[in-house]
């Protein structure tokens, strides 16, 4: 009797839509997306798979208008950035080192408002259900500076345990990119990798000149500095590129854009 009601399917579909697309559901979305998806869901006997399949293959799901509007949860930010930064931990046999470090990152999650194993009540994290703010709840005057502090720390010092340090190695990361010697390509690649939404050409030019070129006017000064490091990775050559790359990543992680997924 309950499952015969349209509203049951719609209710569940809305939850799934909010998780995978966006929390705000306007009248058009309700009519054009939620309704048809609810029909699919109900007609397939409340199997989740056909519903997800329809959603993930829909034009609506890939619409550029619906991209990059998801505020990262603390877990997305902390664990996601560790993955993005290619940070490696010890082999699993070294449980003492790993658990100590993981505990550090778990503390960050707690401080940022998401204690994964201890939700505030049976409803879970308010950011996933609380109208009308939903995941905007993650961001406030306390948590946002802390989010920036977290990425800053990962760049500047990282965390060490038992003599093993996890830190974002900016130079090694840049080496994985397609053409790190070209400051334009470097910035383009970095933004594509870390941001879901593009920056304006003006912003990119400003980042390049002020950070990578230290206000110099010619691209080849970066190209030469990078080439010097690659051919002769002395401390001095390393520092020249490392200082600038660290500033670059710090800036990119501190911009509001990085909080979106």
Partner 1 sequence: MKRRNFLLNSIPAAAVLPELIDGYTVKAFNANSPLVQALMRGDTLTDHVLVIIQLSGGNDGMNMVIPVADYSNYFNARSNIAIPQNRVLGITGVNGTGLHPSMTGLQSLFAEGKAKLVQAVGYPQPNFSHFRATDIWMSASNSNQEVYTGWTGRYLNYEFPNFPNNYPNPDAPDPLAIQIGSTTTLTTQGPVVNMGMSITNPTTFYNLVSGVTDPVPNTPAGKELSFIRTVNQQTQKYASVIRGAANNVPTQGTYPSNNTLADQLKIVARLVKGGLKTRVYMVSFGGFDNHSVQTQADTTTGTHATLLQRVSDAIKAFQDDLRGLGVEDRVIGMTYSEFGRRIKSNSSTGTDHGAAAPLFLFGSGIEPGMLGVNPTIPVNATVNDNVPMQYDFRSIYATILEKWFCLDKSVVDSLFPTGINAQLQSLPLIKAGLCSGITPPPPPVPASDKIIWNYPHPFAHNTDISFKTQGGHTLVQVFDTLGRLLVTLVEKDYPSATTDKITFVAVGLPTRIYYARFQNGVTQAVWPMLKVRE
- If one asks whether residue 231 binds partner 1 (CB under 8 A), the answer comes out as no
Q: Which of residues 144-183 bind partner 1 (CB under 8 A)?
A: 144-145
Nearest CA to 144 out of 193, 87, 85, 77 is that of: 77
**201 touches partner 1 by CB under 8 A:** no
Q: Does 114 bind partner 1 (CB under 8 A)?
A: no
Q: How far is CA 113 from CA 78, 81, 107, in A?
A: 12, 17, 10
Tokens 């664990």 sit at which residue? 79
| Selected binder of partner 1 within 11, 47, 68, 230 (CB under 8 A) | 68
- Segment 41 to 60, residues that bind partner 1, using CB under 8 A: none
Q: Which value, in Å, is the radius of gyration of the alpha carbons in the chain? A: 22
Cβ atoms 158, 170 nearer than 8 A: no
Residue 244 lies near partner 1 (rule: CB under 8 A) = yes
Could you say whether residue 95 binds partner 1 (CB under 8 A)? no
The closest alpha carbon to 41, from 82, 75, 11, belongs to 11
Contacting residue, 6, 24, 176, 179, with partner 1 by CB under 8 A: 24
25 binds partner 1 per the rule CB under 8 A: no
- Which residue from 24, 36, 104 is spatially nearest to 69, judged by alpha carbons? 24
Q: How many CA atoms lie within 13 A of 100 on its CB side?
A: 12
List Cβ neighbours of 5 (8 Å cut-off, separation of 6 or more): none
Residue span binding partner 1 (CB under 8 A) among the ranges 6-14, 50-58, 92-100, 237-245: 237-245
Query: Which tokens sit at 149?
Result: 């502090």
Answer yes or no: are the C-beta atoms of 151 and 138 closer than 8 Å. no
Q: Distances from the Cα of 89 to the Cαs of 63, 86, 96, 105, 161, in angstroms?
A: 37, 10, 11, 12, 11
225 lies in the site for partner 1, by CB under 8 A: yes
Minimum CB–partner distance for residue 46 and partner 1 (Å): 28
Binder of partner 1 out of 11, 47, 86, 136 (CB under 8 A): 136
Q: Cα–chain-centroid distance for residue 149?
A: 15
Which residue in 101, 127, 211, 245 binds partner 1 (CB under 8 A)? Answer: 211
Stretch that binds partner 1, among 4-12, 99-107, 116-124, 134-142 (CB under 8 A): 134-142
- Closer to partner 1 at the Cβ: 102 or 221? 221
Q: Which is nearer to partner 1, 40 or 199 (CB)?
A: 199
Q: Which position has the token pair 């929390």? A: 23
Candidates 73-81, 100-108, 160-168, 238-246 — which segment interacts with partner 1 by CB under 8 A? 238-246
Residue 214 sits in the site that holds partner 1 (CB under 8 A): yes
Q: Which residues bind partner 1 (CB under 8 A)?
A: 22, 24, 64-71, 136, 139-142, 144-145, 196-197, 206, 209-211, 214-218, 221, 225, 235-236, 239-240, 243-244, 247, 250-251, 254, 256-257, 259-260
């Amino acid at each position: 009797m309950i499952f015969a009601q349209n509203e049951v399917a719609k209710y569940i579909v809305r939850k799934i839509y909010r998780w995978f697309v966006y929390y705000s559901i306007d009248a058009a979305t309700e009519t054009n997306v939620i309704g048809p998806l609810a029909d699919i869901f109900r007609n397939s006997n409340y199997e989740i798979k056909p519903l997800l399949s329809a959603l993930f293959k829909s034009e609506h799901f890939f619409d550029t208008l619906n991209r990059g509007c998801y505020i990262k949860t603390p877990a997305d930010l902390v664990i996601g950035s560790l993955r993005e930064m290619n940070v490696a931990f010890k082999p699993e046999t070294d449980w003492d080192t790993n658990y100590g470090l993981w505990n550090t990152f778990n503390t960050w999650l707690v401080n940022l408002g998401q204690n994964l194993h201890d939700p505030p009540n049976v409803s879970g994290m308010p950011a996933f259900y609380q109208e009308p703010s939903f995941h905007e709840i993650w961001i406030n005057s306390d948590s946002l500076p802390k989010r920036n502090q977290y990425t800053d720390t990962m760049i500047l010092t990282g965390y060490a345990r038992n003599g093993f340090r996890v830190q974002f190695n900016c130079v090694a990361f840049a080496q994985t990119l397609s053409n790190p010697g070209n400051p334009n390509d470097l910035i383009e690649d970095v933004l594509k990798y870390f941001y879901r939404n593009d920056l304006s050409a003006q912003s990119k030019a400003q980042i390049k000149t002020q950070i990578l070129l230290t206000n110099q006017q010619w691209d080849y000064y970066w190209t030469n500095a990078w080439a010097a490091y690659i051919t002769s990775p002395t401390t001095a050559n390393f520092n020249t590129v490392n200082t600038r790359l660290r500033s670059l990543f710090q800036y990119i992680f501190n911009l509001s854009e990085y909080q979106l997924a």
